[in-house]
Amino acid sequence: MSPRLEPAAKVAPALREALERLAHEHCALVFDFDGTLAAITSRPAAAELDAPTRAALRLLTPRYPCALLSGRARRDVARRVRGIGFRAVIGSHGLDDGRRAPDPAVRKWVRRLRSRLAGLGGVQVEDKRYSLSVHFRAAQRPALARRRALEAIARLDGAHVVAGKRVLNVLPRQRRDKADALRELLEGWQIQRALFIGDDATDEAAFAVRGVLGIRVGRSLRGSAARFVVARSDVRGLIDLLVELRSAASMPATARARRPSPVDRGEHVLDFLRQLWAVDHALQRRSKQMLRERGVTGPQRLALRLLLLEPGISAGELAGAMHVHPSTLTGVLERLERRRLVRRRARPGDLRSVELHATPAGAAIVRETRGTVEDAVRRSLARHTQRELDVARDVLRELEQELLGE
């Protein structure tokens, strides 16, 4: 008999069943940050993902569309999860999705609260632009500090308080909350089912969103709209389990070749297409960033790299290797020649034919890989098995041929 494997997480059978159903569905996974993915610390600035959680999330994000929905400022939390592959990061309890302008009143409130609470040791007023937080995690007298803060907040015009764990969140009244942001996110992604995991009072509205399976991180479900509760220490195991269930769900599904319903197929087409455009956009953006920082674009660097691999090939051969039209390559080569990164030479014995070579300066640019498109691709590929990469490449190649009408 083969030895039994340890279960990935201490998960109640009913929760495991619900997650298994989700793993077979087109669904999104949405996470809160503090107290859910990261432990609460005495200084908010110190809250970070531990390495095992980061590694587990990196396996999760290629398998499900994942988003982060946090009370922190969007930039702050985005920095903490950089490189993991979240498709969306929404901050300030749903107010800051990167498209909306902040309420100018918040800045005034920050100034006023800082001056009124200045004498209280260990209290911190955090300006999140779209909202603010008064933190008591390190307060010397938390109860007194909280009372004073509530008194001061009551005098702010148009402010609304949501109490959290050792924190008071102050948001503009008639605000959007996490539920509004979650609904909008799912609508934009055209997804009807989602898992939302959070630990705090500000997460409650999102647990109640239609189509959402709510999991509360904590000790009990008392007073919560969530369906399940897990301990903070089991969150990473839960992520591992989601990865495991998704992998198990997709493999037999291929073998059985279950035909998706027309509705499913429509969703998948749109979702895939959106992802392709998102990749196209990200490629252009990284390429422009490379031009600013290193003086070459993504395609220019790719041309140099191919010339180093095959010195002396012709412009036509290079265009073929790069899958671009020769006229597109002409512009790329002209710019590289002007900067003396590439030179042309008549092919020995055939004066009509010209061969291309990268110069030593061109070779130096190729050696520097940090921040390049190639570097991003390499890191992304390293997270997958050879089998997964083969499937992805086949899908992209087939799509290319369909588009070309071959």
Nearer to Mg ion, 32 or 96 (CB): 32
Q: How far is the CB of 164 from Mg ion (least distance, A)?
A: 7
Binding mask 141-180 for Mg ion (x = CB under 5 A): ----------------------------------------
Retrieve residue 366's tokens: 């190729």
CB of 199 to Mg ion, least distance (A): 5
Sign of CA dihedral 107, 110, 112, 114: negative
Q: Which of 29, 31, 32, 166 binds Mg ion (CB under 5 A)?
A: 32
Among residue numbers 367 through 406, which ones bind Mg ion (CB under 5 A)?
none
Stretch that binds Mg ion, among 80-88, 197-205, 282-290, 314-322 (CB under 5 A): 197-205
Closer by beta carbon to Mg ion, 43 or else 393: 43
Q: What backbone torsions phi and psi does residue 162 show, to the nearest 5 degrees?
A: -125, 115
Nearer to Mg ion by Cβ, of 35 and 65: the residue is: 35
Helices (H), 46-119: 51-60, 74-80, 105-116
Distances in Å between the alpha carbon of 262 and those of 22, 25, 255? 19, 14, 20
Stretch that binds Mg ion, among 29-37, 45-53, 299-307, 387-395 (CB under 5 A): 29-37
Give Cα separations from 304 to 198, 283, 295, 307, 325 (angstroms). Answer: 48, 18, 13, 5, 17
Q: How far apart are CA 70 and CA 193, in angstroms?
A: 19
Q: Which residues contact 191 (CB under 8 A, 6 or more apart)?
A: 26, 27, 28, 65, 267, 271
Q: Give the residue with the Cβ less far from Mg ion, 60 or 162.
A: 162
22's enclosing H/E stretch is helix 13-23
Q: Which CB sits closer to Mg ion, 26 or 135?
A: 135
User: Which residue sits closest to Mg ion, CB atoms considered?
Assistant: 35
CB of 200 to Mg ion, least distance (A): 4
Q: Which is nearer to Mg ion, 32 or 126 (CB)?
A: 32
**Segment lying near Mg ion (by CB under 5 A), choices 32-40, 95-103, 178-186, 234-242:** 32-40
Q: How many amino acids of this chain bind Mg ion (CB under 5 A)?
A: 5
Q: Give CA–CA dist 122/139, Å, rounded.
A: 4
Closest contact distance (angstroms) between CB of 32 and Mg ion is 4
**Cross-strand pairs, 213:** 195
- Give the separation between CA 148 and CA 113, rounded to whole angstroms: 10
Burial of 22 (0-12, 13-18, 19+ CB in 10 A): buried
Of 34-42, 53-61, 77-85, 206-214: span binding Mg ion (CB under 5 A): 34-42
Where is 69: in which H helix or E strand? Answer: strand 66-69
Q: How far apart are the C-alpha atoms of 49 and 297, rounded to whole Å?
A: 33
Name the minimum Å distance from CB 203 to Mg ion.
Answer: 6
> Which residue in the set 199, 204, 244, 355 belongs to the binding site for Mg ion (CB under 5 A)?
199
- Contact between 214 and Mg ion by CB under 5 A: the answer reads no
Q: Which of 11, 23, 31, 34 binds Mg ion (CB under 5 A)?
A: 34
Nearer to Mg ion, 200 or 240 (CB): 200
Out of 200, 204, 240, 244, name the contact with Mg ion by CB under 5 A: 200
CB atoms within 10 A of CB 340: 11
Closest contact distance (angstroms) between CB of 143 and Mg ion is 21
Note whether 106 and 114 are within 8 A (CB).
no
- Distance in Å, CB of 34 to Mg ion, minimum: 4
Instruction: Provide, rounded to whole angstroms, the least separation between the CB of residue 75 and Mg ion.
Output: 18
Tokens of 326: 């020769």
Contacts to Mg ion by CB under 5 A: 32, 34-35, 199-200
